[in-house]
Amino acid sequence: MKGLKVLLVMLLVGCIASGVYAKPAEVYLMPTSIGEPSKMMPVGDKATADLWLEYIQGGAPNFVLTGLADVETVGVFFQPPAGCTLLAIEATAMAYMDPAQNTFKMFAALSDPALTADAWKEYHGASATPGPSPIEEIIEGPTLYTGISDADWTIDTLWVSSTPDVEENPFFGGWIKAPGDSSPNPYIYANATEAPYHALMWRSAPASETPGWYSSWHIFRVRALVRIYENIGPMFTLEPLLGTYYTGNRAVGIYTEDFGPAAPGIAEIHLYYSVDGGDAQEVTVVQDSVDATTPNFEYAWWHAEIPGQAAGSVVTYCVEGVDSEGADASSAEYSYMIGAGTPGNGLLYVEEDEAWSIMDIHNAYTGHPWDLWYEYFGGVADSTVTDYYITGAGAHAISWLTFSGYIFAEWSFDEAFRNFMDAGGCLFLAGQDVPGGGYGLGYGEWIVESPHPLADYLKVYGGTDDYIADDPFSVFVDNTDVLTTGMPDEVEVSCGSIYQSTWVGIFTDLDAGCVPLFFDAEGNILGYRYEAPGGFKVVHLYFNFHAMTDTDAQDTFISNLTDWFAVGVEENPEELVYNLPMVSPNPLSRSTAINFSIGKSEYVSVKVYDVTGSLVSNLVDEKLTAGTHTLTINTESLTSGVYFLKMDAGTFSGTRKFVVMK
């Protein structure tokens, strides 16, 4: 097998390790020419096809780039995947002003063959410096175009009369802002979250104050029509399997595209995997469906099944194959870790947190009953990991350390998260960019209303992102609280020492039940705790917890947190038989019976509360013998709405949410 390897990694403080996989190149060939389908055209003794070459797949425009100065230039640096001839450049702009004012000049140019897309830096930030010009020789244009009417999308095509043979060398297409024009605006693809590096801008006054060429996270609607005359081989795209606690067989989805001037299609396809760097093994690949209706192209969907492995294993896999015309290719390699939880432990989930990749960083959780899942080694975790602490043998507690919280924000909208919190889950969330980054609420003042996880479960309704930029800065502590007792009055936080940036926010609108714990020098709230009446617990910091420079203060806080969350207190095996099941059916329209169990003879309290925390009914209030017992929730005396069933027995405490609907 060619090119299959495993990235061996270190284990940090019991951390689960996994290989880091590469992202496949974002190059998509769209088989359409202007106004009509692709055609087969004979050129010498080779067959060819006309294809659009662009670096972002599909998507409708929903915003524009404005504020460009005279003669500033935007465009795309194209890197053909195979030998081709350049036929045309297409660009799009939006006309806001009178047509006489809305003009731009479109052009096509050859680039230095030695250039690659990583030759430019994104222009935001004081450290950015301009890169080389992508224009070695203009081969068509600049040609002047004028908008048609107000708010009209203008789509113009510049045909390249010389149709140069660009082989596989890069070329550049784009447009220049006409001098004196107040508003030509490029059409930009939606949902651009990362700099693609193929989108370039000549900026006269970027943030760095150095004019020149930069890459840009703006994704311009500029594409090239090319005539492919080489068999470029198949493109394989694999489903990236997430890190898991599951030890059984795992199915992998595979998608293939193949361009064939004569006979498109896959002749051979193989999936290889290895475990912990061992020998490569092959598994059978099965085709599920195929689409060969597009001339010169075949699209197909496949799957393969990787055998289950023991906990602690790292599995790496890739696909290789040959198309019907003999061209071979391979996919990117993917790796995932198989972990295991510890009964009674909570989950410490470290998301996208580069600080933890610095060796010897202090881990305040050491010595406490928490299982560490670290994305830098284990990859994003699947539901089997979080479910272990929701419905499995793990403690009902999760600590989530992050920077911008994209994975947490996505998970918080899932039913599993709601079930976790509704059942009395304990959550500690710390990060300096979660509202503005993960939740996309903006890097300034933000507000949020129910239904939303921030409002419903984190009990925060407003704040200001990126409020603190100083580094280091002081955090003042109310050390009279159960979570902060033993901490000093003031701690230093240095986000810049581990991220080279500080974008810490403040909370401006909290639920009345929240208890502020951490403050900046102006008295703004940087962290708080909340305990729902008879329900879940939340601790939320608007800064990176491990950026505290006082490691003793870190240790004290996590020790207090572990105790407040009651993680690891149920060490007696007989206590594991305590069980308060979910209310079923849910919602309730009539009375229902529930079986619950206790591990020993003791006093038991089971009560029903409404959403305000008021006691509605007392179902059990007596000493019971060890074993299973039955209670009845009588809905006749309950109005439609949300309620909480809370059971307390010895050291056990459990809460279940249910809805009455009449």
Q: What pLDDT, in 10s, does the model give residues 266-284?
A: 999 999 999 998 999 999 9
- Whether this prediction's pTM lies above 0.85 is answered by no
- Preceding amide of 61 cis, omega within 30: no
Q: Which of 243-257, 455-469, 648-662 has the lowest average pLDDT? A: 648-662
Mean of pLDDT over the chain: 80
Q: What pLDDT, on the 0 to 100 scale, is given for residue 303?
A: 94
Q: What angle do CA 31, 37, 41 make, to 5 degrees?
A: 85
Q: Note whether 369 and 353 are within 8 A (CB).
A: no
Q: Which of 89-103, 271-285, 491-505 is predicted most confidently?
A: 271-285
Torsion of CA 284, 288, 294, 296, to 10 degrees: 10
The model's pLDDT over 112-160, given as tens digits with 9 standing for 90+, comes to 999 988 888 877 666 678 899 999 999 999 988 765 554 556 678 899 9
The one-letter amino acid code at 254 reads: I
Q: Which of 327-341, 381-395, 455-469, 579-593 has the lowest average pLDDT? A: 579-593
Closest C-alpha to 461, from 528, 544, 545, 561: 528
Quick count: other Cβ atoms within 10 Å of Cβ 614? 9
The model's pLDDT over 29-74, given as tens digits with 9 standing for 90+, comes to 333 333 333 233 333 334 456 777 877 654 555 567 777 777 889 9
Q: Residue 148 contacts by C-beta under 8 Å, 6 or more apart in sequence?
A: 95, 99, 154
C-alpha–C-alpha distance, residues 366 and 359, integer Å: 15
Q: Which domains does the chain possess?
A: 28-228 (no CATH), 240-337 (2.60.40.10), 346-564 (3.40.50.880), 577-660 (2.60.40.1220)
Q: Residue 370 contacts by C-beta under 8 Å, 6 or more apart in sequence?
A: 345, 346, 347, 348, 399, 562, 567
The model's pLDDT over 519-569, given as tens digits with 9 standing for 90+, comes to 999 999 999 999 988 789 999 999 989 889 898 999 999 999 998 998 876
User: 171 pLDDT exceeds 90?
Assistant: yes
Q: Which tokens hold the place of 295?
A: 């001339």
